[in-house]
Structure 1
Amino acid sequence: MNQDNCHHDRLKILLVEDSADLQALLRAMLSEIPDVEVIAIADGEAEAVRFLESAGVDLAIVDLELQEGSGLGFLKKTDQVLTTGRLKVVVFSNYSNLVIRHRCLSLGAHAFFDKSFQIDELLTYVQQEASARG
């Protein structure tokens, strides 16, 4: 698989979010971070898994409530789909009680951010991931 060399160090993001408004907002905010590229957006679990299988995603930002399936279902499938350990998955959801957080982390999520007040923390996390690649 031949990659375009000038983009080899970009952090490639898959956004798994069912709200079109939030998709647009997050894409705009993420595109302002240097060396970050949103390469795919999915609003359902099966579509998100398909992107993972083909797109060379580095970081998936996943909502728990989706049009089809769920973020938890996506997390369960990432283990089966991925053979490389380079993918990181973070959850960005309104459902942030401790039980849900623990479940996501136990399924392999690297971090959990609450939509209602942690968007800045999410963006900082993405920025740090992009910087770590440089």
Structure 2
Amino acid sequence: MSKILVIDDSSTIRKMVQYSLQPKGHTMVLAEDGVDGFEKLEEEEEGFDIIILDINMPRMDGLEFLKKIQQSPSYSSIPVIILTTEGQNADKDKAFKLGAKGYFVKPFKPNELLQGIEKILKG
């Protein structure tokens, strides 16, 4: 199936995403913030099929991460799904302008997230 990079500062959310998607055959790589996520992106020789990204994180937030990968020809084609808290409509607009392909609000429904991932991967 797919190799997914999950970037979220909440270990609980990272584990929830992992437990929701791994049984469907997806491989997960977990990162705790944008800096860690970008390091994992650079370390992964085979690349990622999709990135699940929180917005509010320490060191490098999700919007900064999106800007950084959009500026990199090596990573700009990887679809990004935002998974973040409610009440951030301005961030939602910014995320889509920066190239996000999907946006889910926490708490999320695992089936909806899985359907969103599958839809994006199918193009």
Shorter-chain TM-score above 0.5: yes
Is 1:45 the counterpart of 2:52? The answer is: no
Cα distance change on mapping 1:111 and 1:47 into 2, 3 Å: same
Max Rg structure: 1
**Counterpart Cα distance in 2 of 1:75 and 1:96:** 20
Q: Where do 5+ consecutive residues of structure 2 fail to align?
A: none
Q: Which amino acid aligns with 1:48?
A: G
Unaligned 5+ segments in structure 1 are 1-9
| Other-structure match for 2:64 | 73
Q: Deviations over 1:37-77 (max 9, x none)?
A: 11x11111111112222310110000012232201111010
- Identity, in percent, stands at 25
Moved over 4 A (4+): none
CA contact 1:53–1:81 (8 Å) conserved in 2: no
> Shift of the alpha carbon at 1:84?
5.6
Residues 33, 127 of structure 1: 8 Å contact kept: no
Structure 1 window deviating more from structure 2 (41-50 vs 120-129): it is 120-129
Contact kept in structure 2, 1:13 and 1:60, CA below 8 Å: yes
Hey, what's the Cα distance between the residues in 1 that align with 2:81 and 2:74?
18
Letter in 2 for 1:115: K
Is 1:26 the counterpart of 2:22? The answer is no
- 1:82 shift after superposition: 3.6
Cα 1:29–1:119 change in 2 (3 A) is closer
Which 10-residue stretch deviates more, 76-85 or 46-55?
A: 76-85
- 1:45–1:68 Cα contact (<8 Å) kept: yes
Structure 1 74/85 Cα, relative in aligned 2: closer, same or farther at 3 Å?
closer
Q: CA deviation at 1:27?
A: 0.4
Q: Distance between the aligned counterparts of 1:31 and 1:96, measured in 2? A: 29
CA-based RMSD: 2.1
